[in-house]
Amino acid sequence: MKVLVASEYHMLNTGYALCYQHICESLHNAGHEVTELASYGNEGIKEHVEHAKQCPWNVYLNIPNQNSPDYKRYLEAKKTDPATEHGSWDFNNVVLECMPDVVLAIRDHWYDKHIIDSPLRPYYNVILSPTVDSMPLKADWIDTYNRADKITSYNQWSEDWLRAQMGTDNIVPHISPGVHAAYKRLDTRYCRAKWGIPFDQKVILTVMRNQGRKRYPELFEALSELKDVNLHCHCHYLDRYWDLPKLAIQYGVQNRVYFTYKCGSCSDISIDSYQENGKCNKCNNNKEICSVQDGISPEEMNLIYNNCNIYVQWANSEGFGISPIEAAACGKKVITVDYSAQEDVGNKVLAHKIKPLTLQREVFTLCNRAIPNNSELAKYLGDSDSWSYDSDAIIKSANEHYNWELNGKKWVELVNSCTPRNMWRYSPNLIHPPSLEKISRLNNVEFMKACILSVVQDASLLGSHMHAESLERLNKGHFIPHGRDVPVAVNKETIYNHFIYLLEERVKWEKEKNRVLESAKK
């Protein structure tokens, strides 16, 4: 089958990217025709372009070169659509290029909602493995998942919550990521000698993006209660959220916090305390903090994991968290917050799980997030017995549960379970919609049904979140857009015009599809 994979870009240095790499490889090796829409793939970055050319499957880079005519269109789309960075702006064009039987994505709801909402949706199956990192799930997320053909997840905790809240038959057993072959136990003495870190020094490691839900302040606070423990943060402290150097100073731990640096000239990797304008130890050129775009290889990361004594994942929620299973594959004890995915992952890597102080409702998502128990973390790390553990048992358990060869086969089986719709050469018989005057006499409930069935002519929207939300706004006569305080008036005319717009989009892309098919005949 033809499979379109909506990804970050499999060559990047993220957990998502690693998963996408293995999924694409598994599907390609099984004989499927794979196309990857790489959201963070940039036509202006030489390495991205060259990697795409050498890839055994087709790769579309989402971000145009600044000299490209498409770049202006990309920037315009970004002004109104946050999902532009995730491929929404050019998704339909890519779909028409490859005319897939299946579209697959494993990201957050807001990354991939456009896959479900596309005017070309009737022509392909959708497999989603959404990031379920907290509970309860929002109504619009559930609506998106319900409209997919198949829903899977990364872990048992997420699968259980999907089944509890959705109650639909499109949920299939979860498929976890696997451990890269590069991650294995090495002699810690060798790693310490490489970076000049004394062997008797206690080092805890965390590999987490600098995001709000990654609880770096709490981790630094726990570290401040310990006197003989050092923390290595493998992250980009300039990335998005926390000012980590300032946090380290605030908690008085700046001399015990390491970061990973990479030389821009010779690519040498070093572990050092915060350095604003650091110089490479080998060539004396500038070195920069590692980032997603300029990170390090799994083989180099293996050295990072084997340099530590204990690994800590201190987050208020996780959709999966691939770093703990990588650390476990290296034989390192994992400490994590006993909530969300880490409940399940922690069990399977023999982690020490610490119960959160409480759960707190997040305003934006209305999901429960954990408040980590920093005192318990500090107490556990302060106990000398905690630093002794059975590495062999940890490695055995991690490799048993997180095997990419086995999990890759599960992805192939899941795609194979989808029956191609074989509808690309057919077009719907779209009739001229009724006028507003004709249906405006209907009550609000019947008016909404008419908009769906007779205007946009898409019965799949009946009972959807869009249906319920539009009816609610019509009944109220207004709605307040996200991030604004001023209400926007809503009446039958505004609702009707919205559905007319949706119909026009369907017609536009139907015409474009037929044009592509005719061109292919020639």
pLDDT tens digits for 167-225?
Answer: 778 999 999 999 999 999 999 999 999 999 999 999 999 999 888 889 999 999 999 99
238, 388, 239: which is closest to 310 by C-alpha? 388
Residue found under tokens 């999902």: 83
Element (H, E) at 272: strand 269-272
Radius of gyration of the chain (CA): 25
**Would you tell me how many other CB atoms lie within 10 Å of the CB of residue 80?**
7
Q: Which of 348, 331, 33, 312 is nearest to 187 (CA)?
A: 331
Query: What b/e sequence results for 290-322 when a residue is b if at least 16 CB atoms lie within 10 Å of its CB, and e otherwise?
Result: bbbeebbeeeebbbbbbbbbbbbbbbbbbbbbb
> How sure is the predictor about 239, in pLDDT bands with cuts at 50, 70 and 90?
low
What stretch(es) of the chain map to CATH 3.40.50.2000? 2-178+409-416, 188-402
Residues 6 or more apart whose Cβ sits within 8 Å of residue 329: 179, 183, 184, 395, 398, 399, 402
Q: What is the pLDDT of residues 372-424, one digit of tens each?
A: 999 999 999 999 999 999 999 999 999 999 999 999 999 999 999 999 999 99
What is the C-alpha separation between 186 and 329, in angstroms, rounded? 11
Give the per-residue pLDDT at 497. Answer: 97
Strands 125-128 and 150-151, sheet pairing: parallel
Q: What is the mean pLDDT of residues 117-130?
A: 96
Instruction: Name the pLDDT band for 274 (thresholds 50, 70, 90).
Output: confident
Q: For residue 303, which of 219, 211, 218, 186 has the smallest C-alpha distance? A: 186
How many whole angstroms separate alpha carbon 324 and alpha carbon 318?
A: 11
End-to-end CA distance of the chain: 24
Closest CA to 474 of 458, 488, 457: 488
Residue 168: its pLDDT value, please? 79
188-402 maps to CATH 3.40.50.2000 = yes
What's the pLDDT band for 108 if we cut at 50, 70, 90?
confident
For 1, 64, 435, 483, the CA distances from 37, given in Å and listed in that order, are 17, 13, 39, 30
**CATH domain 2-178+409-416 topology:** Rossmann fold (3.40.50)
Rounded Cα distance between 139 and 295, Å, is 37
pLDDT band at 520 (very low <50, low <70, confident <90, very high): confident
The pTM of the full predicted model, rounded to 2 decimals, is 0.91
Sign of CA dihedral 446, 448, 453, 458: negative
482 pLDDT higher than 80: no
For the record, the structure tokens of 424 come out as 């690309």
pLDDT band at 515 (very low <50, low <70, confident <90, very high): very high
